[in-house]
Structure 1
């Protein structure tokens, strides 16, 4: 089902390709006006142009404090109101606890603090007027984990925790929050995840348009978790009910996989 988005103002970060581009397309098709943000200015411009006069490219960094402030300011100028903010931009860094500090810093800023910084600017106004929607593209790794990619697993858990906190704090004040937690999605991030990532996620990977469709269904239903792979719910429940057994299974799976080759810088 499609939520009522006619005339709404939407911001999508990381919208130059993949899930973000699919979100932008779906929101425009539903009657919203969309700001297409990406660090890759050419990609953002290309997506916006393909969507017609209801989409505007606002390239830039959606993770730093100054970058988020500039994006929200420019979006308000374009849209009047930011009704929906999709914190979709993300990075995948592999490696263990020994990976370089830069990988941790980049992962923390893009996967977590980008969400915090956007909420800091948007939520007070949403609470004041009694409505607003925050969409966080998290990952099944935020509910479960992923072998061989400590920065990604840890920061995606944090992104989920922040989304939960937003919902429990402001959900009765008109702010809706949705955490999108797919496993494999056919995007550049999957193709660059190396043999281990593809072995884990490619067999059941879905298309970005499928993720957008499931987000809209969750928005219509008022459901917090968006699970394009429904089996993730069962795995999440097993993890919670018997964490020792779940960890033993994860160790076996990790030992059977080739090395993860996500970016480590």
Structure 2
């Protein structure tokens, strides 16, 4: 019995009108009402396809129906999109994010967007100590180390990967750092249960399509944080001004 995992595409969120916040209040679904994102291939033994999402598993684990968990438990083999437990996979993903030798992000981004990006990352670095949890600090995690682990060498990365990085630099995501994403958690569980594991894609099969996107194709995905600067409110501006004042006094 085998269990194949694939990743659901993310939802795109356009810029909301300035000053408008939308809140959806939805009833808490019952287990029987949840979409399991599980497909069964009827054969002997059966095989399953399961859709995941790249978020900390603790955010979604309670919403995964029991039939999906049971299929995972019963399977002898589990195949993932990529093998995130393999150091060569992680190294390959890091390498493919880089611009060609000699190029920097400043060379390929519009000047104004690059300026906003740089200021936004300064703001994130300033706020990181306040976003971290006591548990993270108790484990010896330092804000500077965490920032460098996420955003280190950002000026050498391709726009699409910087966009993905920026979208993960939120207070909610920072507070979840250290919790494996769902795919990695399932891979770790499969390894712990001595299941046979594998990957259905190679690193280059993921990287090449993304690296083939030009800036106009990537532009819309920058909207929430950088192409809609008015949505960030006054807090960021105040923080930047405070930081500059401290530097001037030093």
TM-score, normalised via structure 1 length: 0.29
Whose relative contact order is higher, 1 or 2, with alpha carbons under 8 Å and at least 6 apart? 2
Please tell me whether Structure 1 or Structure 2 has the larger radius of gyration of its CA atoms: 2
